[in-house]
A and B are shown apart, each in its own frame.
Chain A
């Protein structure tokens, strides 16, 4: 009961109510979700990517990539931005003074980022359906990939949030995830066209494996046994992100409590 109340408090009161209070921002954010889909759709039509041998249906490829890329780039920015915002408006001190453990605080803060990116993903998938994408979804493998992917995002969130807690401003993790997701994650083009050395970097991203698995699970109805080749690297990366994220967050919290910089920005 307490957990649900807190989730409501973080998602509805502090997330949703404050978000919709900035109406222009809401409008621009939604536009930002939708426009890239159409841009890549028309580029695909113009250049005939549908005939490109590596990708059979470019629109479907791009829609899945765009829908789930948001978690990787935006949600990391969302948590780090959230913490930065709390520092600026002075509420971080009061969140820290509450009996919530630091890790729980980070988790609750992460939820809003996941919720808003889920809204974006659903909207993009719906637009994809409108553009003629045929989904053949294997529910079990889709859910498993999504779960692992979201856990890896939580790990990245913790890493980015910990960095912001310490450095306050200027988050290299957010920059990396933003660049990496666009360039290296196989969002709008397959990573097989990347130079070999860049491809190795893309293999270290959970996004790469998650998108490959989700495309196969959602477009071709592949089951878990057929996707083990994508599943285990994703699981390993998720575990690594989580371990690093939790360790770094604990370190960051104990450091700001020791240094007395909770109220600083």
Chain B
């Protein structure tokens, strides 16, 4: 029996909180569909059944869909529910079946959606303290994902798990199909935590980078060339041969980012990359990270609104993933002049001939085009981008869930 609730775009208004325990236990499944505005197909038993035609529609609409696993795979030990197009499923098949089948698996299941990092129901405790609990998260290739949440929420723990320097108590983390502790996964990951530690102070920045490059299998010549290029890109070119001990905090932070990038990783894990540095240095570092958009998959743990602004997706975490939302960027445009008619946009007067227009980033280009059509009657004075909406929504959602589920 097909229990497809809806194939229509879902909005908050149509969101129905399921009474089904297994669905409730995994908010990410529900929220992913919800927030992407794609689809949600929820079976009463927690599983999902589908047929070929429906499946095709699902796959074309949603990159991630929970389906019920057919019996032959459950006999082999696969979990009953799985994400049909997910890397987790492909990982499972690749692990289970020998090499000749791998290319066939790729043909059938690599349908254009590649997850760079997967946290597959990961739980990690430190003694009696739960750091993260049953986290399921797929991070698509090339995206910038920002983890937000209060102190002790498990953001850094997730980064350490993905970097392979921490082993989960249950579940697993995979990077491009390999367990995060596997050297093949580690080769594809660059990792950085901001502690003014993690580099050798009494040798030069170049030597530091060459050393770490050699660990990742670069030849000394390659590592040196890459080190010089990175240091130049990060504005440290002139100080490349100075002892790191003579660096300022901002320079140190840039060097740490360079160290994470020395082996040209596909995935970059950054923990508060601009903490403790001044405005100019922060601007440079953020611009550099912004320049990596699309080239690298970046997972960033942060409290900083400017860092969160980089996000394609904001994930609010507090032990569990509470909300995954596209970064809802709001643009405030301050304009001066005769606004006239701005169809679909609300221009609010703030006096002295100045107006503020608030819109979403998706409609920003439309607004600018509209302003351009006013033939110079208005001038754009300032543009401000905010992403607080996503985190704010997540915090509100956490409060609601606490009330509903009686969280401690």
A contacts, CB < 8 Å to B: 1-2, 5-6, 8-10, 13-14, 17-18, 21-22, 89-91, 93-101, 254, 257-260, 262-263
How many angstroms from the CA of A21 to the CA of B204 in the assembled complex?
11
A21 & B215 in contact (Cβ 8 Å cutoff): no
The listed residue (B189, B202, B211) touching A22 by CB distance below 8 A is: B202
The listed residue (A2, A8, A22, A91) touching B200 by CB distance below 8 A is: A91
Task: Give residues 196-241 of B contacting A (CB, 8 Å).
Answer: 197-203, 207, 210-212, 214-220, 223
A9 & B165 in contact (Cβ 8 Å cutoff): no
B220 & A9 in contact (Cβ 8 Å cutoff): yes
A21 & B259 in contact (Cβ 8 Å cutoff): no
Query: With A93-B165, A97-B164, A99-B184 in contact, do A18 and B215 touch (Cβ < 8 Å)?
Result: no
Instruction: Provide the residues of chain A in CB contact with B160, threshold 8 Å.
Output: 260, 262-263
Instruction: Provide the residues of chain A in CB contact with B210, threshold 8 Å.
Output: 9, 13
A257 & B198 in contact (Cβ 8 Å cutoff): no
Instruction: Provide the residues of chain A in CB contact with B186, threshold 8 Å.
Output: 97-99
Interface residues on B, range: 35 or more
B contacts, CB < 8 Å to A: 124, 126, 131, 157, 160, 163-167, 181, 183-184, 186-187, 189, 191, 193, 195, 197-203, 207, 210-212, 214-220, 223, 243, 259
Query: With A5-B214, A260-B126, A260-B160 in contact, do A89 and B200 touch (Cβ < 8 Å)?
Result: yes
Query: With A5-B219, A13-B207 in contact, do A97 and B165 touch (Cβ < 8 Å)?
Result: yes
The listed residue (A2, A18, A254) touching B202 by CB distance below 8 A is: A18
Query: With A96-B165, A259-B126 in contact, do A90 and B215 touch (Cβ < 8 Å)?
Result: no
For residue A21, which residue of chain B has the nearest CB?
Answer: B202
For residue A105, which residue of chain B has the nearest CB?
Answer: B215
How many angstroms from the CA of A36 to the CA of B184 in the assembled complex?
49
Task: Report the minimal beta-carbon distance from A37 to chain B, rounded to whole angstroms.
Answer: 30
Instruction: Provide the residues of chain A in CB contact with B187, threshold 8 Å.
Output: 99
Task: Report the minimal beta-carbon distance from A184 to chain B, rounded to whole angstroms.
Answer: 37
How many angstroms from the CA of A75 to the CA of B199 in the assembled complex?
24
Task: Report the minimal beta-carbon distance from A133 to chain B, rounded to whole angstroms.
Answer: 37
Task: Report the minimal beta-carbon distance from A182 to chain B, rounded to whole angstroms.
Answer: 31
The listed residue (B217, B220, B223) touching A99 by CB distance below 8 A is: B217
B220 & A97 in contact (Cβ 8 Å cutoff): no
How many angstroms from the CA of A43 to the CA of B207 in the assembled complex?
46
B197 & A257 in contact (Cβ 8 Å cutoff): no
Instruction: Provide the residues of chain A in CB contact with B212, threshold 8 Å.
Output: 94, 98
Instruction: Provide the residues of chain B in CB contact with A2, threshold 8 Å.
Output: 214, 217, 219
Task: Report the minimal beta-carbon distance from A174 to chain B, rounded to whole angstroms.
Answer: 23
Having A10-B211, A13-B211, one finds 10 other A-B pairs with CB under 8 Å, namely: A1-B219, A2-B214, A13-B203, A13-B207, A17-B207, A89-B200, A94-B259, A96-B165, A260-B160, A262-B166
Instruction: Provide the residues of chain B in CB contact with A6, threshold 8 Å.
Output: 214-215
Q: Provide a sorted-by-A list of 28 A–B residue pairs whose CB atoms are within 8 angstroms.
A: A2-B217, A5-B220, A8-B220, A9-B210, A9-B211, A13-B207, A13-B211, A14-B203, A17-B203, A18-B202, A21-B203, A21-B243, A89-B201, A90-B195, A91-B197, A91-B198, A94-B259, A97-B186, A97-B191, A98-B212, A98-B216, A99-B183, A99-B184, A99-B217, A101-B183, A260-B131, A262-B165, A263-B193
